[in-house]
Amino acid sequence: MIKKFSVKNFKNFKDKVVLDFSKIRDYEFNQSLIKNNLVNKMLIYGPNNSGKSNLGAAIMDITTHLTDNNGTDNILYAYYLNGDYVDDVVEFNYEFLFGNKEINYFYKKDPQSKLLSEELYENDKLLFKYNYITNKFDNNIKEAQTIDISKRTNKEMSVLKFIYNNTLYWPVDSSVKIFMEFVNNMLWFRSLKSNEFMGVMANNENMNDFIINNRLLTSFEKFLKDCGQNYNLCEISDMGKKIIGVKYKNYKARFDLVASTGTKSLWLFFYWMNRTNNISFIYLDEFDAFYHYELSAYILKYLNNRTEFQSVLTSHNTYLITNELMRPDCYCILKNGKISSFADSTQKTIRQAHNLEKMMLGGEFEK
């Protein structure tokens, strides 16, 4: 799990912004949202242009050079460097916690997002370090002592990625293996565009094909019904290809042509929730952009029950701000380049009976 993340000089974050999952309180309610003493489920609020999407891009930046899972083409990394920069270096710092192993990964990139340096530590012990300017290399990874990094055909390729891909054997409990598998299974997506994503896999795939080929049509119909969307789904043929259809009394229609924007957003959500069993982390940007407030609450509950992965959601919907759904150390505000939980944004002691939405709208968490 991610314990702490920080980035500096990236897009609208000129100064270091820190997202700390370890700052938890001793609330006795909604304890399932906490895992291994870290926030496992987080919901971030922030005004427009506060950087919620940029924060997701920053967290997912690690996947762009350590994995091949770059997903769909997007503009998340346009204007990579902060526009008011003093130093033209972008700095990233990740702290992970896997059992009793704390893995720290630091790297720096230039304005074109090319690596300048990488460092990897296990419990403060240096495992690996490489400087792309001086070519200075420190390698204390015992499984990778024979790797010759000069054989990289692409000199801009991450040295750590090269080492991982070219080492013949990694023990199951290897810190490098555990770390790389986590990164390989990180996912970012949002409902604002059709299946725009990063992580998990290299290329886009057809959602019709996935659901039909994996015999998930009945499950999808049930999911939609649970969300208040009643469709009688079926398979139909369109130009010789099987696709999802809707059965009416007098005819059948293509699902994608009769579904509303909100229903299509649910389709995308269902797809990703069933696409892989190995998701480690999800950043879901504007997750409820097309949902009615009650549907937003249902989806939030659904995600909160999926404790096997860590998730960060962003929203503008204050209806979701309630201790019935989450807790004050899981709700955060992003404003003026700083992130703080509700619990850390007030001098008051927040109890379960407090009306968090009323406190939020009253400006209590902006003092």
> Residue 218 and residue 228: Cα distance in Å, rounded?
15
Mean pLDDT to the nearest integer, 104-117: 97
Write out the H or E segment, with its range, that includes residue 163.
helix 159-166
Q: Give 186's strand partners.
A: 281
What local confidence, expressed as pLDDT, does residue 143 receive?
94
Q: Residue by residue, what is the 3-state secondary structure of 220-261?
A: HHHHHHHCCCCCCEEEEEECCEEEEEEECCCCEEEHHHHCCH
Report pLDDT for 203: 76
Q: Which residue's structure tokens are 């469709």?
A: 231
What mean pLDDT, rounded, does the chain reach? 93
Which domains does the chain carry? 2-201+276-366 (3.40.50.300), 205-275 (no CATH)
- Which tens digits make up the pLDDT trace of 67-105? 998 776 567 888 999 999 889 999 999 999 999 999 999
Copy the structure tokens of residue 39: 């926030």
- Please determine, for residue 56, whether its predicted confidence score (pLDDT) is greater than 60: yes
Cα separation, 14 vs 3, in Å, equals 22
pLDDT value at 44 more than 60: yes
**pTM, full prediction:** 0.94
Query: What is the distance between the alpha carbons of residues 38 and 99, in angstroms, rounded to a whole number?
Result: 12
More confident: 217 or 367: 217
Name the strands in the sheet holding 41-45, side by side, starting at the edge strand that comes first in the sequence: 196-199, 186-190, 281-285, 310-315, 41-45, 331-335, 338-341
Q: Residue 298 corresponds to which tokens in the numbers above? A: 């249902």
In angstroms, the CA 21 to CA 41 distance is 9
Interstrand relation of 310-315 and 41-45 (parallel, antiparallel or unpaired): parallel
Closest among 62, 54, 61 to 83, alpha carbons compared: 54
At residue 175, the pLDDT reads 95
Tokens of 160: 């750590």
Q: Tell me: pLDDT of 333 over 90.
A: yes
| pLDDT given at position 171 | 95
* Segment 122-127 mean pLDDT: 97
pLDDT tier at 214, thresholds 50, 70, 90: very high
Convert the pLDDT of each residue in 350-363 to its tens digit. Answer: 999 999 999 999 98
Q: Enter the DSSP assignment of 201.
A: -
Burial class (CB in 10 A: 0-12, 13-18, 19+), 280: buried
Q: Return the higher-pLDDT residue of 196 and 353.
A: 353
